[in-house]
Amino acid sequence: MEGTDYFRKDERDRKRWRFLRKTILRSLEALDFLHRSGFCHNAVNTDTLWMTTTNQAEIDSLRVLISDFGACQKESELGVSGT
């Protein structure tokens, strides 16, 4: 965040909300990819979601990665068919 923005609450809040929205969007995209690939993670939490950056200035390069596939199951093992 730029130094002068720190003192402007409205600008600071706008940047924080933008970062939060982008983080949620990227997390949902990662889960969507996993589900379209036929897998169910079963243990998604803050420990299994990894962000490539936490710097608000680098928001456009943000990627969210999913880790810890120990509890992951294939869709066929769950007895659920995709639509």
Structure tokens at 60: 């456009």
Query: What does pTM read for this prediction?
Result: 0.72
Domain residue extents for the chain: 3-74
Looking at residue 25, what DSSP letter applies? H
Contacts of 30 (CB under 8 A, 6+ apart): 49, 64, 65, 66
Phi-psi region of 38 (alpha: psi -120 to 50; beta: other; left: phi over 0): left
Query: Which pLDDT belongs to residue 81?
Result: 57
Structure tokens at 70: 């120990």
> Long-range contacts made by residues 6-11, C-beta under 8 angstroms, separation at least 24?
none
Q: Answer yes or no: are the C-beta atoms of 51 and 23 closer than 8 Å.
A: yes
Asked if pLDDT for residue 83 goes beyond 60, the answer is no
Query: Which pLDDT belongs to residue 6?
Result: 62
What's the mean pLDDT in 1-12? 70
The predicted-structure confidence for 16-75, as pLDDT tens digits, reads as follows: 899 999 999 999 999 899 889 888 888 888 888 899 988 888 888 889 988 887 777 787
Beta bridge partners of 74: 39
